[in-house]
Structure 1
């Protein structure tokens, strides 16, 4: 009888171990799946955060320019010969944009694109500084400044693509 109980106990113990081992494998698979899902969600969140940060950055940049470039836009859009007063106002406007661009900060969510964004902001600043410098001359030429602006716009477009957005043109936002 003792042998029977011993065999029976051993059999029950073996079945119990088998059942526990099966649950451990299922639990490990479940944990792995949850970990993969969390990683995928984290990647999606990071991508979404970068897109949102890029849009905020872009909007703050265009707003910073638009708050100060009104007189410059009037000067550049003038079909008639600009007056000396228009020229002086445009120069002051360009200088104000330069100062405003120096205050723009790049969001942490765009750390991977920071170098490209800094380069674009430097080009924008150089563009407006060149405009201010040219407007101080008797016969200003804004062509070089506009080329630098176009380079900055292209750099911003590349960052838009990098974060998964459709590029837009800053010139359409600020030259109205």
Structure 2
């Protein structure tokens, strides 16, 4: 009789453990599902934050340029620029370089920081080359404009990487 009760006890204990095990598996599956959903939402939030940060960063860069390049744009648009226009354009280009040196890549764009810093460097180098060329008697801004285009293209690649259509910085700041 003792063996019988022992076997029934072991049997009941086995059933109890099996029931707890199934309940635990269900909870684990629910937790895994919730974790997957949270990761998806977090990924979507991160993507949206990157898009927003990219647009704000882009506007900061164009503002840094536009605040300082009016005299340079006037010089480049003029058919017969004067010596005063040339001097003002040189100072304008140098001011743009200073403005761009103060621009920092936001934390939300840390994955693209190297690319954005390279783009800013190209833009800064472009305006520095313009400032240097404007010191000459017969300045040629073609090489500087090519460097600007390279920086603009780098911006476009980051726009695409964060899921946005590329924009042309040249149209934002020239004119």
TM-score scaled by length of structure 2: 0.90
Matched with 2:114 is 115
Shift of 1:7: 7.9
Supply the distance in 1 between the matched residues of 2:100 and 2:8 (Cα, whole angstroms). Answer: 82
Matched with 1:154 is 153
Supply the distance in 1 between the matched residues of 2:114 and 2:18 (Cα, whole angstroms). Answer: 57
1:36 counterpart SS class: helix
Matched with 1:74 is 74
- The CA RMSD measured in Å over matched residues stands at 2.0
1:109 counterpart SS class: helix
Matched with 2:93 is 94
2:167 counterpart SS class: coil
Matched with 2:57 is 57
Supply the distance in 2 between the matched residues of 1:134 and 1:47 (Cα, whole angstroms). Answer: 41
TM-score scaled by length of structure 1: 0.90
**2:144 maps to 1:145:** yes
Supply the distance in 1 between the matched residues of 2:3 and 2:150 (Cα, whole angstroms). Answer: 89
Shift of 1:169: 0.5
1:58 counterpart SS class: helix
Matched with 2:22 is 22
2:43 counterpart SS class: helix
Size of the aligned set, in residue pairs, is: 175
Matches within 5 A, 1:2-13: none
Matched with 1:106 is 105
1:140 counterpart SS class: coil
Deviation string for 1:51-106 (max 9, x for gaps)?
A: 1111111010000000000111111111x301111111111110100111111101
Supply the distance in 2 between the matched residues of 1:151 and 1:67 (Cα, whole angstroms). Answer: 22
Shift of 1:9: 6.8
Matched with 1:38 is 38
